């Protein structure tokens, strides 16, 4: 029985673990999970690393489909999440409900962490642009901790290494050591839709098992599970990508 390689964006990590584990237990197949920032995972696929199933942001999946790396007809949305602010569990929740409130909160914080845009972290790329729009990049530079991924962001907040963390709300909700202080307000918000697809060129048993896994992960029952982790079927407001 072949192993199934699975590349996945970190924002979907917590939501996918249990459904994948159930599939492994039910069928006796092994899923080789590999999580990371969207940009990095996409580059690994383009570099030719072997993989059978991919979950990345919709634009990344669309680009991979256009380049013939995933099968366009298999693309299906997993869910959509926005960017929020995390605080350590039990800490006071700062005001991030307006642009002015968010600006004051960031300036007052002792430390801040978000995903390193250079690593291709979707939320980090967006949050860096939010900081620019608020005109506080220089003021935050000395207390900003760039993290490898959104998961690393919330881990730092949970350990007390950063007072605030900015990342996808699905990542925040998955960590018991942090709480969601609030979502980015108004037009500072950006929603990311994550999609699943099969890699191109799959044949034989590997292709059959990968197809079965995709069917399982896009079933109505599993989609309800995603929503409990903050991966909704549609965003409430804000741009989407």
Can you tell me which residue has the tokens 């996409």? 42
The span from the CA of 188 to the CA of 185, in Å, is: 6
Q: How confident is the model at residue 240 (pLDDT cuts 50, 70, 90)?
A: very low
What span, in angstroms and rounded, lies between the C-alpha atoms of 175 and 191? 20
Handedness of CA 65, 68, 69, 72 (dihedral sign): positive
CA dihedral of residues 131, 63, 43, 144 (deg, nearest 10): 10
192-210 pLDDT tens trace: 999 999 999 998 888 999 9
Share of the chain above pLDDT 90, in %: 84
- pLDDT more than 70, % of the chain: 96
Q: What share of the chain is helix, strand, coil (3-state, %, to 5)?
A: 45, 25, 30
Predicted local confidence at residue 6, as pLDDT: 97
Summarised one tens digit per residue, pLDDT across range 116-145 is 999 888 899 999 999 999 999 999 999 999
> Is residue 197 within 8 Å of 54, Cβ to Cβ?
yes
**What's the pLDDT band for 234 if we cut at 50, 70, 90?**
low
For the segment 77-130, what is each residue's pLDDT rounded down to a tens digit? Answer: 999 999 999 999 999 999 999 999 999 999 999 999 999 999 888 899 999 999
The neighbouring-strand residues paired with 193 are 80
Global pTM reads: 0.84
Beta 164-168 vs 83-88: how paired, if at all?
antiparallel
Contacts for 209 with CB less than 8 Å, ≥ 6 apart? 1, 2, 4, 27, 29, 52
CATH fourth-level superfamily of 83-188? Periplasmic binding protein-like II (3.40.190.10)
Q: Three-state DSSP class for 56?
A: strand
Its CATH architecture, for the domain 4-80+193-228, is 3-Layer(aba) Sandwich (3.40)
Distance CA 28, CA 56 (A): 25
Same fold, 4-80+193-228 and 83-188: yes
What are the structural domain ranges in the chain?
A: 4-80+193-228, 83-188
**How far is it, in rounded angstroms, from Cα 96 to Cα 112?**
14
């Amino acid at each position: 029985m072949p192993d199934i390689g699975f590349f996945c964006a970190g924002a979907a990590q917590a939501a996918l673990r249990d459904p994948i584990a159930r599939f492994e237990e039910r069928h006796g197949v092994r899923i080789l999970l590999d999580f990371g920032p969207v940009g990095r995972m996409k580059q690994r696929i383009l570099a030719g690393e072997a993989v059978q199933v991919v979950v990345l942001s919709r634009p990344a999946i669309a680009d991979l489909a256009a380049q013939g790396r995933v099968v366009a007809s298999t693309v299906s949305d997993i869910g959509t999440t926005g960017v929020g602010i995390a605080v350590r569990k039990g800490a006071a929740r700062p005001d991030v409900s307006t642009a002015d409130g968010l600006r004051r909160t960031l300036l007052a914080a002792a430390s801040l962490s978000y995903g390193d845009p250079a690593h291709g972290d979707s939320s980090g790329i967006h949050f860096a642009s939010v900081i620019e729009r608020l005109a506080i990049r220089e003021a935050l530079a000395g207390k900003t901790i760039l993290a490898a991924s959104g998961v690393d962001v919330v881990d730092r907040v949970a350990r007390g290494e950063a007072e605030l963390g900015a990342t996808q709300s699905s990542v925040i909700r998955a960590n018991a050591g942090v709480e969601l202080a609030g979502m980015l307000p108004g037009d500072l918000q950006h929603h990311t839709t994550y999609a699943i697809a099969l890699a191109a060129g799959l044949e034989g048993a590997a292709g059959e098992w990968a197809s079965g896994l995709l069917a399982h992960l896009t079933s109505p029952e599993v989609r309800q599970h995603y929503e409990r982790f903050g991966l909704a079927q549609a965003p409430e407001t804000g741009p989407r990508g």
